[in-house]
Amino acid sequence: MRSGVLWLMAGLSMSFAGCAVTQPESNEPPPLSEASFNTRILELETSLAQQCDASTAFIEQQLSQQQVLTADVREVGSLLRHLRQEVASLEARSEDPVIIREECRVEEPEDNKTLLGRSEWVGLPSIGTYLKARVDSGANTSSLSASEITRFERDGEDWVRFKLALNEDDVVVEQIRDEWIEAPIERRVKIIQASGEESRPVISLLMTLGPIRENVEFTLNDRSHLDYPVLLGRRFMMDIATIDVAETYLHDRPEFPGGEPSEEAADDEAADQDDTEE
């Protein structure tokens, strides 16, 4: 009997010991020490700094690519401007007539009038040439020297075909000298002279003079016997320009394909005679 009790107690003891051995361990991580915490923070700071450096390098790369694209765009713009000049030169050399259509007027501030001399260079972009002009506030309407003036009809509208009436001394882009020019007639004016009454067509041309860029109405008549192929009257100067009769050529000669550089205009200006327009 005593021996049976001893065997029972021994079995229970072994059971408890086995439970203690097979009990699973806890999954909680051990607490961090101060050194481990500082090491982990340093690793995070290093990783963040590397990410910032990578972002900065990416931004610099994008800026560099943007600068390259900007330079390419500017180069393309320069090539386009050069191409337009070549196209204008080719068109000027063609035998087809120059057709002029009205262009938008660029308004100038009324309180910023341009000072003009009694003689100035004007540019006619629609035709492709520069010409000398007499600025005369005593004349009402501007005038352009023209010959072989022929009226015709196009699309139900009145048009006119003509050539510039120039003498050998007139300065012009040479390839334009004998070109036919066509433009719609804006209106007609009656000119009363001692020899009788005359009707002249009026056309509108884009004209440049220094900073001025305006659509100007010109009557067409032969001025080849006068010193200037262009006359600018007070209707042109109204609100945009004033004249100082003591000065001449205050503004540079415009440049056109096939023409002479503006810096070579001094010799042509010196050849002027101080004659009074009729």
The residue type at 125? P
Task: Report the phi/psi class of residue 197: left, alpha or beta, with left for phi > 0 and alpha for psi in -120 to 50.
Answer: beta
**Residue 116: its pLDDT value, please?**
96
**Residue 83: its pLDDT value, please?**
73
What are the two backbone dihedrals, phi and then psi, of residue 228, each rounded to the nearest 5 degrees?
-125, 130
Largest CA distance in the chain: 168
Residue-wise pLDDT tens digits, 6-31: 455 555 555 544 444 445 555 666 67
Residue-wise pLDDT tens digits, 121-154: 999 999 999 999 999 999 999 999 999 999 999 9
**Residue 64: its pLDDT value, please?**
73
**Residue 59: its pLDDT value, please?**
87
Q: Are strands 181-184 and 157-164 parallel, antiparallel or unpaired?
A: antiparallel
User: Residue 112 — pLDDT band, cuts 50, 70, 90?
Assistant: confident
246, pLDDT greater than 70: yes
Domain 99-270: assigned CATH number: 2.40.70.10
Q: Give whole-number Cα distances, 123 to 41, 208, 260, 268, in Å.
A: 75, 5, 13, 15
pTM for the structure as a whole: 0.61
| Contacts of 131 by beta carbon, 8 Å cutoff, 6+ apart | 121, 122, 124, 164, 170, 171, 172, 228, 229, 230
**Domains in the chain: boundaries:** 99-270
Give long-range contacts, CB 8 A cutoff, 24+ apart: 5-9: none
68, pLDDT greater than 80: no
Give CA–CA dist 61/67, Å, rounded. 10
Residue-wise pLDDT tens digits, 156-208: 999 999 999 999 999 999 999 999 999 999 999 888 777 778 889 999 999 99
42, pLDDT greater than 70: yes
| β-bridge mates for residue 242, sequence order | 115
Give CA–CA dist 8/30, Å, rounded. 41
**Residue 96: its pLDDT value, please?**
62
Label residue 260 exposed, middle or buried (CB < 10 Å: 0-12, 13-18, 19+): middle
**Residue 16: its pLDDT value, please?**
46
Residue-wise pLDDT tens digits, 72-111: 776 676 677 667 766 766 665 555 676 666 555 544 444 5
